[in-house]
A = this chain, B = another copy of it.
């Protein structure tokens, strides 16, 4: 089943936004055995859009289109689909209900222009949009399926997950691609390769594939297989996952969960411990990651972002003499911050981070990227100094990932 993705919108062609939709869609389609063989990005030009619809239909079995469905003038896709399929727009009560509901929920009076959102081509299957006002459309013709969805990522994802992927899966029972993703933390890609290269070489003979997915502070390993017997495939992948756990016990964090904050949360809940954070250079990012998980109030008490020395003293009880003697970026201060967090917020566990995110503030002694992390549990306290890199963004990310990884491994070791 050959799939082509068409993304419509000038913003991609002038480089104002990066197209992340295509990668997300391609990965999901890949999982159900539909192979994307081309992604075509074009602008808001009627002629080119029509020509691309035509050409894609000749190349592919399934054409997935995103973008150009808003209420504004540069949104042309719906009208052009009518032209392409010689169809006309009809008013759809259900969709109008959806649009009104969206505005009602937000307590906003619906602007008149949004009535237009409820007009849909007469011959398509309408894909309802729970997350926005523009409906999606599913057309079939000459053995080609055309699906049009909004370009707003979470609206597109909602439609893909609720409607498009299940329908494609149902229609084309095919070889499945099954995979598991191992999350590792605390070791870089090339060191990891040294531990795993012999094992990696053994995979091909077993019909397994490995992908390396590094990001700031962590590396994910995706082991995948393709075939018809899902259970057997999973069994053979699981055996390899156990092998990875055996090879790198210290760095192996979890399976099929990319998010350290989720795994850490589950562990804290299991122990019945609550967590607080004291953040200087990470500036609230750890609190943000932890609270991005639904239900995190079950184990996360709160945090203090103490960007100034004054706040470290006032809210966390860090001693002035410690700051003076060792500097704000020191293992000693990190330790007092963690103790202070536990005390001030009455939790069993705490994470404290102090460092120099950059680009300025470094010294020969403590270069940009120097970060001291302290973790505190009922069983004790651990503090560690790191030197990450020069990028402020990555230093903040690495501080957060490393700190959560330290606490996770520490609790797991009890």
Contact = CB atoms under 8 A, between A and B. Distances in A.
A286 to B, nearest CB: 7
Contact of A48 (B10, B37, B391): B37
Number of copies: 2
B43 A40 contact: no
A26 B39 contact: no
Interface string A299-327: 01111111110110011000000000000
B301 A214 contact: no
Interface residues of A, number: 111
Given A11-B211, A74-B210, A310 B346 contact: yes
Interface string A187-206: 01111011001001000000
Contacts of A302: 304-308, 311, 315
B294 A389 contact: no
Nearest to A216: B154
Contact of A291 (B283, B290, B300): B283
A165 to B, nearest CB: 13
Interface in A389-414: 389-394, 396
Interface stretch (A12-20, A85-93, A135-143, A240-248): A12-20
A283 B287 contact: yes
Given A12-B26, A389-B131, A284 B303 contact: yes
A283 B288 contact: yes
A332 interface: no
Interface stretch (A100-108, A119-127, A166-174, A372-380): A100-108
B38 A38 contact: no
Contacts of A27: 14-16
B200 A73 contact: yes
Interface in A206-241: 210-214, 222
A185 interface: no
Nearest to A200: B73
Contacts of A105: 367, 369, 387, 389-390
A25 interface: yes
Q: Is the interface of A mostly helix, strand, loop or mixed?
A: mixed
A77 interface: no
B37 A40 contact: no
B191 A108 contact: yes
Contacts of A305: 277, 284, 287, 291, 302-305
B15 A23 contact: yes
Nearest to A312: B302
A161 interface: no
B396 A292 contact: yes
18 contacts: A12-B39, A14-B30, A15-B36, A16-B222, A19-B19, A74-B210, A106-B188, A106-B389, A111-B190, A113-B190, A284-B287, A284-B290, A287-B287, A295-B360, A302-B311, A303-B304, A304-B315, A305-B305
**Closest A-B pairs by Cβ, 5 of them:** A283-B291, A15-B27, A284-B287, A15-B26, A284-B284
Interface of A: 10-20, 22-30, 35-43, 45, 48, 70-74, 105-108, 110-114, 131, 133, 152, 154, 177, 181, 188-191, 193-194, 197, 200, 210-214, 222, 277, 279, 283-288, 290-292, 294-297, 300-308, 310-311, 314-315, 344-346, 357-360, 367, 369, 387-394, 396
